[in-house]
A and B are shown apart, each in its own frame.
Chain A
Amino acid sequence: MRSSLGISALVTGLLIITAAYVAVLLPGPAPTWPAWGVAAGTCLLLFGFLDLGARRRAGRPAAVRLIFAGTALWVALGFIGILWSTTPELDTPFFLGLPLPAAWMIWVLGVGPALFLPIAWAALFRTATLADDALAQLHEAKRRTDDRRAEGRTDEPPS
């Protein structure tokens, strides 16, 4: 099995999450670290899936991987902020109408990624997703496949 960064991130993330769930489900008082484990594992899974998803025959621009790493780190930052936070008190500062820990959750986790992931997708659409000639290439490949099928030759295995 050839390794890739995306698959490595997925495997690592799954192992961490599995360990966290096992620790919680074992008899006795649950430790506190599993929450950190689920948070870290989720960020790794997000990165792993995105990195795999951006795989293309022509390779993926370095900017894409940086964006995915940035997204995962941003989400991790959101998790860290609330995992470190304590229950708010009356003197807890407010931000835009919410106690700071809740505001951190809403703005960092709930709004932050929405501001750059879709924009990055749109900005890199031609270079990292679907080049102008991609559909023409695809139609040409389909024509060749149809021709081979018509001649009784096909690459597709029997079902």
Chain B
Amino acid sequence: MTALPLTAASVSLRAAQTQELPSAASPLVIGVGLAYFAVVIAIAVWAGRRTRTRDDFFLAGKGIGLVALTLAAMASTFSGFTFIGGPGLLFSVGLGAMFFVLPASVTNGFTVWVVAKRLRLLAEVRPVFSIPGVIGLRFGSRAAQGWAGAAVLAGIIGYMATNVLALGLVLDALFGVGLGWGIWIGTTVVLLYSSTGGIIAGIYTDVFQGTIMAVASVLVFLYALDSGGGLANISTTLLVADPDFVSPWGLFTPVAALSLYLLFSIGVVGQPHVMHKFFMIRDPRHLKWYPMLVTVAMAMVILLMFGVGLAYKALVVTGQAPAPTPADNAAPLFLLQHTPRLLAAVVFSGIAAAMMSTVDAFLNVGAAAITHDLPTALGRPVTNELRAGRIATVGLALAAGLVAQTSGSLVALLGIAGYGLLAAALVPALAIGLNWPEATRAGAIASIATGLISSLVLGFLTRGGEAAMLPIDQGINVMAITLTLSLGVFLAVSAVTRGGTMEELDEDVRLALEL
């Protein structure tokens, strides 16, 4: 087996779109793109009129239904990775890339059973609207809330800047406006709907975007199979060319692939931009059908990554298509060459939309951290959180745009750390803390600090490729290591400390954690 020692960093660099895409600009593509943006802006205007309070801005007034929750969670989870980075990664390393998305079969059931109900019930008895706020409430600790808020900010800033940069590249490919203008047009559109309409705008643009993502992905998948004469023909072509490519691990080592499974199956609970949506559902009983619906929606979107990654590789192997340079161009090239132009236009707009929905969700949780969690931790609560939320949203968006435009490699480095940092910092305090009565305040603070600091340090030292200061053998995802470390710290510290257990909570909060 010719397994490549791909590091987490190099994988994530492939996952993050940081290089120019092939131009798709044509009257039809531009027209579809403009129509798309018009719908998004119309939703923003509508949502802006409905956003009157802090709860509207951060919690959509706790009034969203099951379908909206499903599509918004799916759209926020997948970002542009499934459309560009995913197919490109699969093109590069073979079926092992599926370990990024295979956990989707488990994560939705896992999420509802482990945290979703608890989060929603806590929102029923207390005015919580952020994940750090929940951690502060559970452990009766402003320090835990502050550490969690800091982790959220550290995790999202690079993640967001990476998505803004990718958005700029996609808009450049769509409209031919250049990267700089692409970044700022994308930032402005996201800013428009997220600062005026808050999370209401975010949720309902996600509904629109998520629907298109799911339907378009299935169509593209069918075109992908057709382009290669069916899945069996594609597999046979690839099997002849490179048997490892169609082995379960692809070109990953087994340990590397399994580390991805570990990180992405359990780490989802630590993603605040997805978890905070559970506060917003109108009736907690709607959660009954959520995992089933969101799993179906995710499966539809994953088809694009799977189909295009395999099909385009077969087309290249048989000389029917040019090799994409870089590999992330596999999906855009396939769309331009092998699907009807209208579908390509819709998918290109969908890619931009997916990135915008992720940025919007990050802006919302980041604004909550700045205006609520950190001031609360410092004992200086903000009086007008709606106004402060809008200002923080503008500030964060501008910061992300500036970082994206001015520091390319730093963006990628920060983006690499994002998902894993959030997982390592927040999973223990949420997934164990909300469910284990004996989890302690000191355990929560220690694990959040461990996850935050170890992710930043190891993420920096292993920043990929030849520049790595600390090469990790066999491509183990360094963020799987930091997640393991923070979980261990949480359990060990909770075992030897007291204070912050569930016994000390108010009756209603404790009941929310025990129902």
The contact of A98 among B246, B481, B494, by CB within 8 Å, is: B246
Q: CA of A96 to CA of B87 in the docked complex: distance in angstroms?
A: 21
How distant is the Cα of A106 from the Cα of B102 in the complex, in angstroms? 7
Query: Looking across the interface, which residue of chain A has its beta carbon closest to that of B434?
Result: A53
Q: In residues 229-266 of chain B, which contact A (Cβ within 8 Å)?
A: 230-232, 234-235, 239-240, 243-244, 246-249, 253-255, 258-259, 261-262, 265-266
Which of B10-18, B157-165, B291-299, B338-346 binds A? B291-299
Assess the A145–B506 pair: CB atoms within 8 A: yes
Contact string against B for A residues 85-100, beta-carbon threshold 8 Å, 1 for contact and 0 otherwise: 1011110101011110
Chain A residues contacting B101 (CB-CB under 8 Å) are 110
**Interchain CB contact under 8 A, B495 and A1:** yes
Q: Is the Cβ of A35 less than 8 Å from the Cβ of B515?
A: no
* From B102, B142, B246, B505, contact of A110 by CB (8 A): B102
What's the Cα separation between A157 and B140 when bound, in Å? 6
Q: Which of A56, A97, A105, A131 contacts B102 (CB 8 A)?
A: A105
Neighbouring A residues of B235 by C-beta, 8 Å: 94, 97-99, 102
How many residues of chain B are within 8 Å of chain A by beta carbon? 84
A87–B1 contact, CB under 8 A? yes
Measured between C-beta atoms, what is the minimum distance from A25 to chain B in Å? 6
Contact check: which of B113, B231, B472, B507 meets A97 at CB < 8 Å? Answer: B231
B240 A49 Cβ-Cβ under 8 A: no
Which of A4, A39, A102, A112 is close to B258, meaning CB atoms less than 8 Å apart?
A: A39
Bound Cα distance from A109 to B16, whole angstroms: 25
- Chain A residues with CB under 8 A of B507: 141, 144-145, 155
Interchain CB contact under 8 A, B295 and A137: no
Report how far A142 CA is from B232 CA in the complex, Å. Answer: 59
Pick the most buried of A4, A79, A114, A120: most chain B CB atoms within 10 A of its CB.
Answer: A114
Residue of B nearest to A34 (CB): B255
Closest to A105 in B: B248
A118, B291: Cβ atoms under 8 Å? yes
Q: Name A residues whose Cβ lies closer than 8 Å to a Cβ of B.
A: 1-2, 4, 6-7, 10-11, 14, 17-18, 20-21, 24-25, 30, 34-35, 38-39, 41-42, 45-46, 49-50, 52-57, 71, 75, 79, 82-83, 85, 87-90, 92, 94, 96-99, 101-102, 104-106, 109-114, 117-122, 125, 129-131, 134-135, 137-139, 141-142, 144-145, 154-159
Can you pick out 21 interface pairs between chain A and chain B where the beta carbons lie within 8 Å of each other? A7-B436, A21-B476, A21-B481, A46-B106, A50-B114, A53-B114, A87-B1, A98-B231, A109-B105, A117-B109, A119-B292, A122-B291, A130-B117, A137-B511, A141-B125, A141-B508, A155-B506, A156-B506, A157-B500, A157-B504, A159-B141
Given contacts A122-B292, A145-B506, 11 further A-B pairs with CB under 8 A are: A55-B435, A57-B515, A88-B246, A88-B247, A105-B95, A105-B98, A114-B105, A121-B109, A138-B511, A139-B124, A156-B509
> Chain B interface (Cβ within 8 Å of chain A)?
1, 95, 98, 101-102, 104-106, 108-110, 112-115, 117, 121, 124-125, 136, 140-143, 230-232, 234-235, 239-240, 243-244, 246-249, 253-255, 258-259, 261-262, 265-266, 284-285, 287-289, 291-292, 295, 299, 431-432, 435-436, 438, 472-474, 476, 480-481, 484, 487-488, 491, 494-495, 499-500, 504-509, 511-512, 514-515
A-B interface, 8 closest residue pairs, ranked by CB to CB distance from nearest: A97-B231, A117-B109, A53-B114, A118-B291, A35-B254, A114-B105, A57-B514, A82-B248
